Structure 1
Amino acid sequence: MDPAVAGLAFVAIFLVELPDKTFLATLVLSTRYRPVLVWLGVGLAFALQTGIAVLLGKVASLLPTTAVQLLALTLFLIGAVVLFREGRSHHSAAEDGEEYAAKAGDVHGAKVVLASFLVLFAAEWGDLSQLLTLTMVAKYHDPVSVFVGALSALLVVSGLAVVLGSALLRWIPLHVLHYAGAAICLVLAGVTATEILT
């Protein structure tokens, strides 16, 4: 495992997911149900989603290097645009999160874990973090490092949502987090463009 690749995956996914619906959905679910059960369900969903992204990235790594780099560049630029637009729209935590909490219904115990798993698994399918994970595996050819970094970032983000969610949103406006994620995507796009040109 390469700590540098794992660290890069962690930072990129952390900054992309912190202002994302993942954080908001986990925050709202943890206000309705036992936070540790919500975090467990969310963590299981992330492990499966990240595993799928890593497997798809491994397949994509078989493509020619230039094709992988162009795909990575495109996804990073799309990610930057999406996050920038979300930052401008100033979505409120209550509005976004209520949708996900409503999907969970009234559940207890092991059903909270399952409901949290299903809500986050559905919400994250094809999400920017999953696409970035896929791209990083294809680009760096290190699925274990990317998996560890990406999953760690997702678990930390959901843990923050469970423990500090509403307080964090009072300190750092949501649109600032979106802009930080967009900036990271632009940096990654710039690095990839430089690799393509050299």
Structure 2
Amino acid sequence: MSSVLAAFFTAFALVFVAELPDKTTISTLVLTTRYRKGAVWTGVAAAFAVHTTVAVAFGSALTLLPEQVVSVIAGIMFGIGAALLLRAGFSKPEESGKDAMRSGPAQTTFLSGAAACFGMIFAAEWGDASQLMMAGLAARYGQPIAVGLGSLAAIAAVTALAVFVGGKLRDRIRPHLLQRAAGFLFAGFAAYAFGAAALA
């Protein structure tokens, strides 16, 4: 029983610390400027659930994924995200004077928002350091379920924090400015991913 708890809490602590400053947290934060907070959390959490399951099930086999292909897919997903964010950020306000960005999340269905967030994070996280860490912890402790649950709990907590902060920023800062900044940030992630693919 002690080894199960040790595996759970070790996985929680390490994954939480690793994911808090990660690009995925930043991505989650800015996704809340485009989609409903519940949809963002659901999509991101679902993507991480898949990655966590794969990590603890197959361990080091994740390193066999073709790095170049993963980078290209991540670049495409971030590029699509940048295009959506910039389009919303530079759109004209509605005739009512209400900021178009502020009404954006309400016009997007929960399912489409969650699916978009799932796809972006799912593509971007293959081979991520935290995923490899989960695989290593599962191998070390021999407790894949405890490691998986601890990792998921940490990811859920970090994602909730990012969604909360993103929601506060959307309410306090001019949405178009935040949307433009988020779009350029995603474009940077896309450029980085394509650069990594070119160098692979």
Does TM-score exceed 0.5, indicating one fold? yes
Q: RMSD of aligned C-alpha atoms? A: 2.8
Mark the CA change 1:157 to 1:100 in structure 2 (over 3 Å): closer, same or farther: farther
Partner of 1:150: 151
SS of corresponding position for 1:28: helix
Question: Which residue among 42, 45, 57 is the counterpart of 2:44?
Answer: 42
Q: Which has the larger radius of gyration?
A: 2
Given that 1:104 and 1:119 are in contact with CA atoms closer than 8 Å, whether structure 2 keeps it comes out as no
Residue identity opposite 1:158 in structure 2: T
- Stretches (4+) displaced over 4 A: 103-107, 165-168
Cα deviation 1:140-165 (Å, max 9, x = unaligned):
10001100111111111111000135
Q: 1:87-106 maps to which residues of 2 (within 5 A)?
A: 101-102=81-82
Unaligned runs of 5+ in 2: 63-77, 89-107, 170-200
1:58 Cα shift? 8.7
1:167 Cα shift? 7.3
Cα deviation 1:134-187 (Å, max 9, x = unaligned):
00001110001100111111111111000135879xxxxxxxxxxxxxxxxxxx
Cα deviation 1:40-89 (Å, max 9, x = unaligned):
001110110000001112989xxxxxxxxxxxxxxxxxxxxxxxxxxxxx
1:101 Cα shift? 3.8
1:123 Cα shift? 1.1
Partner of 2:54: 52
Mark the CA change 1:114 to 1:32 in structure 2 (over 3 Å): closer, same or farther: same
Partner of 2:174: none
State the alpha-carbon separation in 2 of the partners of residues 141 and 119 from structure 1.
Answer: 31
Mark the CA change 1:114 to 1:142 in structure 2 (over 3 Å): closer, same or farther: same
Unaligned runs of 5+ in 1: 61-97, 169-198
